[in-house]
Amino acid sequence: AATSMEELVSLCKRRGFIFQGSEIYGGLQGFWDYGPLGVELKNNIKAAWWRTNVYERDDMEGLDASIIMHRLVLRHSGHEATFSDPMVDNRKTKKRYRLDHLVKDQKADVIAKVAEAMGESQENLPAVVSAMMKDTARAETALKEAGVRDPFSGEVGDWTEPRPFNMMFKTTIGPVADEDSYGYLRPETAQGIFTNFKNVVDSTSRRLPFGIAQIGKAFRNEITPRNFIFRVRELEQMEIEFFCAPGTDEEWHEQWLRARLAWWEAQGVPREKIQILDVPKEDLAHYSKRTYDLMYDYPTLGFEEIEGIANRTDFDLGSHTKAQGDLGIQARVEPNDDSVAKLVIPHPETNKPIVPFVIEPSAGVDRAMLAVLSEAYTKEVLENGSERIVLKLRPHLAPLKAAVIPLARNRPEIVEKAKSVKAQLQALGLGRILFEDSGNVGKAYRRHDEVGTPFCVTIDFDTIGQGEDTSLHDTVTVRDRDTMRQERVSIAELSTYLRSRLS
């Protein structure tokens, strides 16, 4: 696995996985562009998730809802009021920081002083920060007296009282920009699932328990985006809302935890690199009864959230439904006079219409990509003492499944043969096969090791029957990424050979 974030950033840029957004104009913080190989890897991760969670189950449906949503959706979901991070300003540098990041980044003795001033343990940073948000005047004094430094200038800052900063991006809709003509870029894909609950139930005749899966962009105006693609402002999520009868929710929560851990293993992220955090009650989001955060051991960062698996109770459907009073909703929901739909489904036993509970496994595509890359990253010392970097990606995730390389690019018969072999392999539908006529086979092997291409197929003079050994006519050399062993395979058998090793 990778030992630092830096080596991943460098590989990603060098080989075309990930670039800084708007780079030629100086870049835009918190926005990243996925390059030629990045888009393939990302698509493969999403396809693997969709296969496992939609195609291989019999209790799931898919959805692709719009990104911009009605302001009332995000009002009734609770995001307008509570989707915020604690923020503090330094009057000297005019820089703004997310309070918990600011405190976490201080030296241990400074953190201890802040914690002590707030009457909390320095081991429990979330508690320190929530105490600071409860008593913001005391927080200001604590930041001052502990000598909290500005990470930008390195000097002791002149801090304001902390305050909540709402992270939703707002945009105007239509030609008239007045008070009511705005909408939000969704901060999570989940809300599109809740607002379509009735549409999906009515159009598929689903009964409890069942789930809806969605992959899509979400937007969060993070105060301090950082750590490469770990914390970005435009992100992609893979979310499931799994609806079940109240009382069965805890068992489903456990089942989804097991299912999700198994999925991560199948992507090459081993169980021992993930810690399960049973989120303490006081840190739970406004909708949650219980949440498991899966914490992956990222290089340089340490254990940070890769996926959250929350029991959202009947909060969301309850908040978005009309006629709440008759439905026996258990969560504390605000009144809703705006919704025109009753978000109910028959109870599996009593047949009485109920608002179901929901279990939500929510994973970030960008954070998945970082974890998968980090696990695959391998530095090997070869027998001759030289070093090679190889991405040992699972074949189903590899951006390129195979490269077809003509040994001599000035020999039309060889080039043509290579093109026809490429077309033959491409037609298998395994993913992208690259025709690679860069001219230097050794260099091509090294490049394909670095980007995780499982096989290189070389077309040479023997292939076209012009080598010394005529028995090798219509055979190719197949090189294995991991073992570096080369094997002679006949073109007739090549499809079967690769298909069995790639799927």
Note whether 460 binds ligand ATP by CB under 6 A: no
On whether the CB atoms of residues 405 and 459 are closer than 8 A, the answer is yes
Of the candidate residues 186, 367, 432, 448, the single one contacting ligand ATP (CB under 6 A): 367
Question: Among 79, 113, 231, 289, which residue interacts with ligand ATP (rule: CB under 6 A)?
Answer: 231
CB of 113 to ligand ATP, least distance (A): 25
Q: 32 or 197, CB closer to ligand ATP?
A: 32
Compute how many other C-beta atoms are within 10 angstroms of the C-beta atom of residue 50.
17
Q: Residues 217, 30: contact at Cβ < 8 Å?
A: no
Residues 23, 32: Cα–Cα separation, whole Å: 9
Beta-carbon contacts of residue 87 (< 8 Å; ≥ 6 apart): 96, 97, 98, 99, 162, 163, 164, 165, 223
* Nearest-approach distance from CB 259 to ligand ATP, in angstroms: 16
Collapsing DSSP to helix, strand or coil, 212 comes out as strand
Helical ranges in 160-312 per DSSP H: 190-195, 197-204, 249-266
CB 109 to ligand ATP: min, Å: 26
Among 98, 220, 273, 320, binds ligand ATP (CB under 6 A): 220
* Single-letter amino acid code for the residue at 113: K
The piece of 156-164, 318-326, 357-365, 418-426 that touches ligand ATP (CB under 6 A) is 357-365
Amino acid at 370: L
User: Pick from 7, 221, 213: which is nearest to 98 by CA?
Assistant: 221
Instruction: Please give the single-letter amino acid code of residue 256.
Output: W
* 306 is an interface residue for ligand ATP by CB under 6 A: yes
- Residue in 61, 100, 366, 449 binding ligand ATP, rule: CB under 6 A: 366
Min. distance of Cβ 226 from ligand ATP in angstroms? 10
| Rounded distance between C-alpha atoms, residue 472 and residue 444, angstroms | 23
Q: What's the closest the beta carbon of residue 276 comes to ligand ATP, in angstroms?
A: 13
Residue 363 makes contact with ligand ATP by CB under 6 A: yes
Report the distance separating Cα 417 and Cα 203, nearest Å: 50
**Could you give the 3-state DSSP secondary structure of residue 404?**
strand
- Does 183 engage in binding with ligand ATP (CB under 6 A)? no
CB of 231 to ligand ATP, least distance (A): 4
Q: Does residue number 224 form part of the binding site for ligand ATP (CB under 6 A)?
A: no
Check binding of 102 to ligand ATP (CB under 6 A).
no
**Burial label, 353 (beta-carbon count in 10 A; 0-12, 13-18, 19+):** middle
Q: How far is CA 415 from CA 297, 409, 486, in A?
A: 45, 6, 20
291, 313 Cβ separation under 8 angstroms: no
At its nearest, how many Å lie between ligand ATP and the CB of residue 6?
19
* Beta carbon of residue 227, minimum distance to ligand ATP (angstroms, whole number): 9
The answer to whether the beta carbons of residues 114 and 59 sit under 8 Å apart is no
Q: Which stretch binds ligand ATP (CB under 6 A): 243-251, 303-311, 319-327, 371-379?
A: 303-311
**Residue 110 or 215 having the CB closest to ligand ATP:** 215
Residue among 11, 131, 232, 407 that touches ligand ATP (CB under 6 A): 232
Span near ligand ATP by CB under 6 A; candidates 94-102, 154-162, 227-235, 382-390:
227-235
What is the C-alpha to C-alpha distance for residues 488 and 327, in angstroms, rounded to an integer? Answer: 68
Nearer to ligand ATP, 366 or 462 (CB): 366
Closest distance to ligand ATP from the beta carbon of 357 (Å): 18
Among 61, 100, 120, 222, binds ligand ATP (CB under 6 A): 222
Binding status of residue 237 toward ligand ATP by CB under 6 A: yes
Q: Which is nearer to ligand ATP, 257 or 341 (CB)?
A: 257
Q: How far is the CB of 221 from ligand ATP (least distance, A)?
A: 9
Among 214, 324, 362, 453, contact with ligand ATP (rule: CB under 6 A): 362
* Residue 350, Cβ density class (10 Å: 0-12 exposed, 13-18 middle, ≥19 buried): exposed
Q: Could you give the angle at the alpha carbon of 490 between the alpha carbons of 487 and 494, nearest 5°?
A: 85
Residue nearest to ligand ATP (CB): 364
Should residue 241 be labelled a site residue for ligand ATP when binding is judged by CB under 6 A? no
Task: Decide if residue 364 touches ligand ATP (CB under 6 A).
Answer: yes
Residue 416 CB, shortest distance to ligand ATP, in Å, is 46
363 neighbors 307 (Cβ within 8 angstroms): yes
Q: Using CB under 6 A, list all residues that contact ligand ATP.
A: 220, 222, 231-232, 235, 237, 305-308, 362-364, 366-367
